[in-house]
Amino acid sequence: MSSKKKTIAGVTRRHGIAAAPALTGRTKIVILAAVSLAVAAAIAIIAISVAQSTVNRAATAPEGGTAVVRANSHVLGEAADGKVTLVEFLDFECEACGALYPHVEQLREDYAGRITFVTRYFPLPGHQNSKPAAIAAEAAAAQGEFEQMYRMMFETQPQWGERQETQAAIFRGFAEEIGLDMTEFDAAVADPATLDRVLVDFNDGVALGIQSTPTFFLNGEMMTITSIDDFRAQIDAALAE
């Protein structure tokens, strides 16, 4: 953002200026205190601006890929020619994501080998268990079982979604059902790096302007979808180009 720099020009007559009254010691102290507070406030504002700038740079300049797809993004099906890529930013607790899940699965089946499907996390702050669910999915991914956990989350969403208390024990049960090494799973869930991996996706999504889930990108462009037929039509158009 650009800001206009305001300047104030003061004009003083060279003659006829009355002498200013002498300042008392108490007045000097008050003025010095006011100046000190002003300087401290200015320093604080500069520090905040620098911190925000650092955060913005981190969100908009990801490493290992573009902001839409990273090298370590989870791929649920890959096109042979790499021509068309569909990326979904999702929240496992989001009811809309859950409602669209069967349609996305059908798209994966119908366009298998023709489209690269990529899934990224975007846990909404208003959902108590969306972030723990993403952490559990990422912990499963560490053992090569992201897709299994991804399916489990959506297929059981009505059982644990919209709860105010943690559902971590249920997610751990999913890991056991899938057959994961539970020592490794627990360690991955507790590892701050796992949460950091989830937040990388979330921060990229924020930088891309995502405000709700699910949000899809087709070949790097955010989609506006009016219906399932429209969804397919846009994919078909991308394949035809």
Q: What is the pLDDT of residues 108-147, one digit of tens each?
A: 999 999 999 999 999 999 999 999 999 999 999 999 999 9
Q: Structure pTM? A: 0.72
76 secondary structure, DSSP code: S
pLDDT of 47 > 50? The answer is: no
Mean pLDDT of the chain: 80
Instruction: Identify the burial level of 4 via C-beta atoms within 10 angstroms of its C-beta, where 0-12 means exposed, 13-18 middle and 19 or more buried.
Output: exposed
pLDDT band at 212; cut points 50, 70, 90 = very high
pLDDT at residue number 66: 52
For the ranges 14-28, 62-76, 117-131, 207-221, which has the lowest average pLDDT?
14-28
Residue with tokens 């999915």: 137
Query: Burial code of 178-203, b = ≥16 C-beta within 10 A, e = fewer?
Result: eebeeeebeebbeeeebbebbebbbb
Q: What residue ranges define each of the domains in the chain, with the CATH number in brackets? A: 74-240 (3.40.30.10)
pLDDT of 226 > 50? The answer is: yes
Could you give the CA distance from residue 18 to residue 112 in angstroms, rounded to a whole number?
87
The CA distances from residue 199 to 48, 55, 86, 123, 203, in Å, are 21, 12, 20, 9, 6
pLDDT at residue number 164: 87
Short-list 162, 85, 82, 86, CA closest to 129: 162
pLDDT of 65 > 70? The answer is: no
pLDDT of 53 > 70? The answer is: no
The CA distances from residue 50 to 1, 56, 71, 79, 199, in Å, are 14, 10, 29, 42, 21
pLDDT band at 9; cut points 50, 70, 90 = very low
